[in-house]
Amino acid sequence: MRMVELGRTGLRVSELGLGLASVGGMFAAVPERQAVATIDRAWELGVRLFDTAPVYGYGLSEQRAGMALRGRPRDEFVLCTKVGRLIEPGGPDLQPIWAEPPAGVGPRLDYSYDATIRSFEASLERMGIDRIDVLHIHDPELDFPIASTETFRALVELRGRGTIRAISLGVNHADVAARFLRETTAHGPDVILLAGRYSLLDQSGADELLPLCEKLGVAVLAAGVFHGGVLADTADGAPHGYERVPQDVLRRIDVLREVCSAYDVPLLAAAVQFPLTHPAVPAVIVGARSPREIAEVAAWREYEVPEAFWTALRSAL
């Protein structure tokens, strides 16, 4: 799998990264053996970028990341996790999407300087790995004044000491990331993990954020490229994230399918590869809950897409 530079960080990553929310039990339980096998299969396929978070399964995802990765040569992969939520006994900010969280603990939103350092140290302990390469401020819009000052100050100190290599934001909102970058330009984030806002169904990240990142040399990791599975399954009912798929979304998917059919390009191959056509996006991060799923996504990444397809696609978007 192709390796690329991660912006100005000095890190090299695979163009395809594995997001580890699913193996932490997002929406459905994943047995431990299957979770580890999924990460192992990703490694066999050449994936060298792994993204987790304390809130994913309330520590379960980080624990499983450590089980699968800590025996690997440490300089051969890039590991990302997040701060902004502490996992602790009685944590009140529960999320119903986690199918098998450990009993008695939960997340507590806290972007303070002290909580950021504690969260970082707890992540290292859960994973049993000696360092984290990219540390994201998770959902900074939930307490922007503190996230952009205290959390950011903690990460700047960690980066300055060489404890982490890069500061990042993990966001679902492109405007939040753009604001953060504007307010911290002098020594701001090195990376943005942007979920669902530069994809076949939503290019809003290109309005302001991606041009700003390109100007500043900030790398964008595109996530949420399947929109909770809506591109894979648009039948009645709804994929994750939708109570019911809106008709305008279904119409846009029909248009996408027509273009893909005309050029013999699988829709999901286009979904994986589309973000990589922007110069600010060196890599895409996808979730998988089984070895089969990550192998399928890797095959879509490698599918040969003709240049004429992208021209036609952009005309249709």
Assigned superfamily of 3-240+269-302: NADP-dependent oxidoreductase domain (3.20.20.100)
Do 305 and 265 contact (CB within 8 A), yes or no? yes
Q: Is 82 labeled as catalytic in the residue annotation? A: yes
Instruction: Give the model confidence (pLDDT) of 261-301 as tens digits.
Output: 999 999 999 999 999 999 999 999 999 999 999 999 999 99
Q: Check residue 123 and give its pLDDT.
A: 98
| Residue in 58, 75, 82, 175 annotated catalytic | 82
Specify the pTM: 0.95
Q: Check residue 233 and give its pLDDT.
A: 61
Q: Is 242 labeled as catalytic in the residue annotation? A: no
**Got the DSSP string for 77-91?**
-EEEEEESEEEEET-
Q: Check residue 59 and give its pLDDT.
A: 98
Determine the Cα–Cα distance for residues 231 and 213; give it in Å rounded to an integer: 27
Q: Check residue 73 and give its pLDDT.
A: 97
Bridge partners for 287 per DSSP? 19
Q: List the pLDDT tens digit at each of the 317 positions of the chain.
A: 999 999 999 999 999 999 999 999 999 999 999 999 999 999 999 999 999 999 999 999 999 999 999 999 999 999 999 999 999 999 999 999 999 999 999 999 999 999 999 999 999 999 999 999 999 999 999 999 999 999 999 999 999 999 999 999 999 999 999 999 999 977 899 999 999 999 999 999 999 999 999 999 999 999 999 987 788 764 444 455 556 778 888 899 999 999 999 999 999 999 999 999 999 999 999 999 999 999 999 999 999 999 999 999 999 98
Instruction: Give the model confidence (pLDDT) of 87-126 as tens digits.
Output: 999 999 999 999 999 999 999 999 999 999 999 999 999 9
Q: Check residue 5 and give its pLDDT.
A: 98
Q: Is 215 labeled as catalytic in the residue annotation? A: no
Q: Check residue 124 and give its pLDDT.
A: 98
Going by C-beta distance under 8 Å and a sequence separation of 6 or more, which residues neighbour residue 233?
239
Spans of all domains in the chain = 3-240+269-302
Q: Check residue 242 and give its pLDDT.
A: 59
What angle, 0 to 180 degrees and rounded to 10, lies between the N-to-C axes of helices 113-127 and 152-160?
Answer: 60
Q: Check residue 237 and give its pLDDT.
A: 44
Q: Check residue 235 and give its pLDDT.
A: 44
Q: Check residue 247 and give its pLDDT.
A: 86
Report which of 235, 224, 239 is spatially closest to residue 281, judged by C-alpha positions: 224
